[in-house]
Structure 1
Amino acid sequence: MKLAYAALAAASLAALSQPAVAQQAQAPSAQQMAPVSDAELENFVIAASMIGQIQRSEEIAGAEKEKAAMQVLSQAQMTPQRFNTIGAALQTSETLQARVDQTLARLKKEQAEG
């Protein structure tokens, strides 16, 4: 999935480690979670960046923020539960954190190369 890479420029790992979508979903621990493919991780990184921008936006009303976030997840082909599970795993898994760092670096490099 190649969503707007410009969203990555403003991404911070803080936004990635604190999922802001569908708080009703309880995320299992990293050991219980299904493996995260490289493509799914890329979708997560891009979606988290875009959702972070939505959450910080002062131009979007509160109720509309969740709708917009859900639309981003739909485009990323990710359920709120899976998004939250990956986000929760990021808080405890150094391996997953390293993969996110690599994904961010690769996407930024691709963006810079055009």
Structure 2
Amino acid sequence: MKTALSAMAFASLAMFAPTAAAQEAPAAPAPATEEMAPVSDAELEKWVRAASTMQQIQENAEMPQESKQQAMGQVLVQAEMTPARFNQIAAALQTSESLQTRVNETVARLQAQANG
């Protein structure tokens, strides 16, 4: 986990977000006027951990694509997060500076914990 978090930076998460959105089951985009439910610190930590793990799965050249899809689905189950909510947070990261800051803070906190 230490290497996963130390290798992860916000830029890689931001670049990963559209990939995750494109790979999940198609869903109707939320109307622009619809407010997103607030993201708690606990939910954001789950998102960061899930995004990191999913990125590692995506980068695994030896794993077949079908296996990657199943593995990423399992990551979301373990994170207790629906694909729609994961993608909603990923999309919000594209435009919300406050959410981007919170992700950076969460990554830094997790890195510090991993480094002891």
Instruction: Write the distance in 2 (CA, Å) between the matches of 1:111 and 1:30.
Output: 39
TM-score normalised by structure 2 residue count: 0.85
**Structure with the higher helix share, 1 or 2:** 2
Q: How does 1:20-99 map to 2 (within 5 A)?
A: 20=20, 21-28=23-30, 29=32, 32-99=35-102
Distance (Å, rounded) in 1 between the aligned partners of 2:80 and 2:92: 19
1:90 touches 1:97 (CA, 8 Å); kept in 2? yes
**2:76 aligned with 1:110, yes or no?**
no
In structure 2, do the counterparts of structure 1 residues 31 and 38 end up closer, same or farther at CA, with 3 Å as the change threshold? farther
TM-score for the superposition, normalised by structure 1: 0.86
Distance 1:30 1:75, change over 3 A: farther
Instruction: Point out where structure 2 has 5 or more consecutive residues left out of the alignment.
Output: none
**Unmatched segments (≥5 aa) in structure 1:** none
Instruction: Letter of the 1:32 partner, please give it.
Output: E
Q: 1:42 and 1:51, CA in 2 relative to 1: closer, same or farther beyond 3 A?
A: same
The alignment's C-alpha RMSD in Å is: 1.9
What is the total number of aligned residue pairs between the two structures? Answer: 110
**Using CA pairs below 8 Å that are at least 6 residues apart, which structure has the higher relative contact order?**
2
Structure 2 contact 58–68 (Cα < 8 Å) conserved: yes
2:10 and 2:100 in contact (8 A); partners too: no
| Distance 1:5-1:27 versus aligned 2 partners, 3 A rule | farther
